[in-house]
Structure formats: structure tokens, C-alpha cells
Structure 1
């Protein structure tokens, strides 16, 4: 009986190597994880203080876009652009939010912008788009990341009453 128990223990200990699974290397695990990440989307969109209390991701994103559009429109609704370019009703502004919470604005002019002085318009727009409230950057896997989006800016005509 002792011999049988010793044989059984030897068999169990000797056969453990057959149950070992192949452990993937660190590089393989990293590549697998990198492929599983959707780099086109962020976990949390950029946000301003007014939108922080909203819990729903889509509603918070919509709130942020509405506030940013409104702020840009308020800053650009001055007589300068309306007088210089009365036929211009909408432009698109590319907004970049960097991980350190700084903002960059780049006007996107239409393809037929030959009728406009884009250099002059660009300088006017960049001069007006300053002093924005603090914007929290987008978050991807707990890390602040750079995000970009394009907002349409509609110029409102003032009523002459």
C-alpha cells in the first residue's frame, strides 16, 4: 500500500508539468490589449463646469458642444465679420482640447473661399476666440488625451429696429 501511495504521489508531482499552460509573453499581451482598444472614441468627452453634473455620457457631450458653440458664436458675433463679409452666414471651427486643458481654434473655410480673405478672417477669428472657461480634457482609460471636433458657427444678423 505504501508503495502504491508513493507511486501515486510521484505520478501526480511528475505529471504537473503536463498541466502547465503556455504563458503569453509581455509583448503578445500588449499587442492584444492595444488591438482591443477603440482609439476613435474616448471614455469621457471634454467637459466644462456647467456640464459636470450630468451623468449620461451622450447628454454631457451634447451639453459641452452646445456651450462651446454658444461661446464661440457670442465671441464672433461682432460687427467686424458681419460688415466685412455680409454674405458669410456659417463657418466651421476646428476645436482642439489638449491634455493640459488648453484650447486651440482653427477656422475651416469652405472650398470656394477664394471670395474671402482667409488670412484676414483667420486673424480676426483667432483674436476673438480667447478667454474661454476652463475645459476638462477628454479621458481615455483614466488618462487625459487630446481631442478634436468641428463646430459649425452660425452668424446671426442683427435686426435694425
Structure 2
């Protein structure tokens, strides 16, 4: 008899989970899944038409960055900057790509020397981003997402 009572108590305590609503279980699963998602990384980087989406994430990132830098380089070569002193510096361009593939400049970080010698630099970079070829947005779990990026541009004049 004692064994039956102990067995009944064990069944009673373990069966409490059976009475939990499906909504409660669903909420718990969603909460656990949200804890596992890294919102600081994307699953796939934005893609230009000449980048291969079947390569690794690192290769996608390299293709994205190299295509951007080539675009900036070609744009900057079209301008003749008159520079009084030698410039060797790195400029950081922060931009946002929204879930539709549109790009907007968030900020351009550079020193005052470059600002004095090339005041039109910000406008050139902003226009360059607007004339980019079509880009597919970044993906997180198969859903297009907005993403921030920082691209370094190395200026070297001799």
C-alpha cells in the first residue's frame, strides 16, 4: 500500500506539467529561442549581383566589402583633389542598409586635416553610396533585415 501511495504521489507531481497550456509552452519555447539568437550578426551578408551566395559567410563578407571599396575607389578616382599637405589617413564610413536594400550614410569619421583639405569628401561618399548597383539586403533566419556596417577607406597622397 505504501508503494502505491508513493507511486501515486510521483505521478501526481510529474503530471503537473501535463496541465500546462499549449500557449504557455509555446511562450516558453519562443523565449528560449530568442535567448539563442545572436542579434549582432547576420546569417547572410548583403549581396551584390556578382557575389556568390553559396560561399561561406566570410567569403560573402569579403565580396561585399571588396565591391564597396572598389566602388568608392572608382568614384574617388574621378575627382581631382587639390591637397596642400601629404595625407595618409584612414576614414571610416558608417552606413545602414535597410531591409529593402537602400543605403544611407550614418556618419563619416575623419580627422580635421582631411575636412580642411577636402570639404566635399562627405558629399562624394554619400553620392557614391546612392549610385551603388542593386544590393540584396542582409538576411537573419531567412528574413531581410537592416544592418549597420563600417568600411575603412585608406587615403594616401604622395
TM-score normalised per structure 2: 0.71
The answer for the alignment partner of 1:35 in structure 2 is 35
Residue 144 (str. 1) matches residue 144 (str. 2): yes
CA distance in structure 2 between the aligned counterparts of 1:53 and 1:143, rounded to whole angstroms: 15
Q: Is the 8 A contact 1:43 1:141 kept in 2?
A: yes
CA distance in structure 2 between the aligned counterparts of 1:135 and 1:76, rounded to whole angstroms: 21
The answer for the alignment partner of 1:125 in structure 2 is 125
The answer for unaligned runs of 5 or more in structure 2 is 1-10
Q: Is the 8 A contact 2:108 2:122 kept in 1?
A: no
The answer for the alignment partner of 1:21 in structure 2 is 17
- CA displacement at 1:132 relative to structure 2: 0.8
The verdict on how the C-alpha distance between 1:18 and 1:104 changes in structure 2, with shifts beyond 3 A counting, is closer
CA distance in structure 2 between the aligned counterparts of 1:65 and 1:154, rounded to whole angstroms: 13
- CA displacement at 1:77 relative to structure 2: 2.7
Deviation per residue, 1:60-87 (Å, 9 max, x gap): 211111111111121123434x315754
CA distance in structure 2 between the aligned counterparts of 1:62 and 1:124, rounded to whole angstroms: 23
Q: Is the 8 A contact 2:87 2:157 kept in 1?
A: no
CA distance in structure 2 between the aligned counterparts of 1:85 and 1:52, rounded to whole angstroms: 42
CA RMSD of aligned residues (A): 3.1
CA distance in structure 1 between the aligned counterparts of 2:13 and 2:61, rounded to whole angstroms: 53
How many residue pairs get aligned? The number is 143
The answer for the alignment partner of 2:112 in structure 1 is 113
The answer for unaligned runs of 5 or more in structure 1 is 1-14
